[in-house]
Structure 1
Amino acid sequence: MIIRKGVKTDMPAVLALIKELAAFEKEPEAVVVTVDELLRDGFGDNPLFHTFVAERNGEVIGMALFYYRYSTWKGKTIHLEDLIVKEQFRGTGAGSALYREVIKFASEQKVRRVEWVVLDWNTPAIRFYEKSGATILNDWRTVQMDEKGMTQFTIDL
């Protein structure tokens, strides 16, 4: 298995992994992003995200997708959006290798924090992150507003 930077030709496999993660998280219909959008947004002059992929025998079996953020308290940070390994390859070390690569990249980029979210029922992931030295923040809540909410909010202004 090798861990490498994702390239354009990996994006169909990345999208398949995103869809597998959505199914795992019990929201299989939530994915609306397309390969074309991944190509446009990840490989232009100012890419909105970066990926690492785990490859085994020429097949992409896992990926980590992340992007830069800016913290008013810490400065430059990285947000790990998704880390997923195909179900049949879980337990092979691919997830750990992808995680290590993201943390190594962040350290090399001199960011002050890497952050991500984990579902409260995903106890294997929570245990893995805690064992790695990550801190699980229980007093913060993720807040989101979808397209419908944004539209309604702007109408109500």
Structure 2
Amino acid sequence: MNYKIRPAQEGDCAQILALIQELAIFEKEGDAVEVTVEDLKRDGFGNEKLFHCFVGELDGAVVGIALTFPRYSTWKGPIIHLEDLIVAEKMRGSGLGTALLNEVVKYGKELGVKRINWEVIDWNTPAVKFYEKKGARVLRDWDVVQLDEAGMENYLNNI
């Protein structure tokens, strides 16, 4: 396939959001996406960039994304987090996921980070196998911990 990997541009945000929604539906969380096109524009292309995104483009359409943001490890120093690597269903198996991951790893190397972190849902066996094949360690003995907005409010009300 003749796709192109490039840094995302502000004009890609609607297509990026469509891929985010496609992933949410795949992960059985179709109603969970709250982010808007305006949020993506502000947070990725505004004065204070909160994320960096690569897109995979085919015939002018965004068919894959890899969205990252900086983190800091108290043990290692600067790292980046790969929030999502999304490949449109019609493009799976085309090599686009590998091309996007390659770009993220090159980006991390250029930044001089010590590690790249991400999560994968445990029942997505093809994704787990894909990452392991690429040499990533899937740490099955760690649990993801989150406080959502309601959880933060509850927490603060109980201190």
Whole-angstrom CA distance in 2 between matches of 1:124 and 1:11: 27
Q: 2:25 aligns with which of 23, 26, 30?
A: 23
Among residues 118, 140, 143, which one is paired with 1:141 in the alignment?
143
% identical equivalent positions? 55
* Unmatched 5+ stretches in structure 2: none
Distance, in Å, in 2 between the alignment partners of 1:147 and 1:40 is 20
SS at match of 2:82: strand
Aligned residue identity for 1:64: A
SS at match of 2:6: strand
For the residues of structure 1 that align with 2:140 and 2:82, how far apart are their CA atoms? 18
Stretches of structure 1 that go unaligned for 5 or more consecutive residues are: none
- The CA RMSD over aligned residues, in Å, is 0.7
The DSSP-based 3-state class of the residue aligned with 2:63 is: strand
Counterpart of 2:157 in structure 1 is: 155
Give the match for residue 119 of structure 1.
121
Q: Give the alignment's TM-score, normalised by structure 1.
A: 0.98
Q: TM-score, normalised by structure 2?
A: 0.97
2: CA distance, partners of 1:68 / 1:112: 11
Runs of 4+ that moved beyond 6 A: none
Task: For 2:151 and 2:62, locate their aligned partners in 1 and report how far apart those are by CA, in whole Å.
Answer: 36
Q: Distance in 1 between matches of 2:44 and 2:27?
A: 24
Superposition deviation, residue 46 in structure 1: 2.3
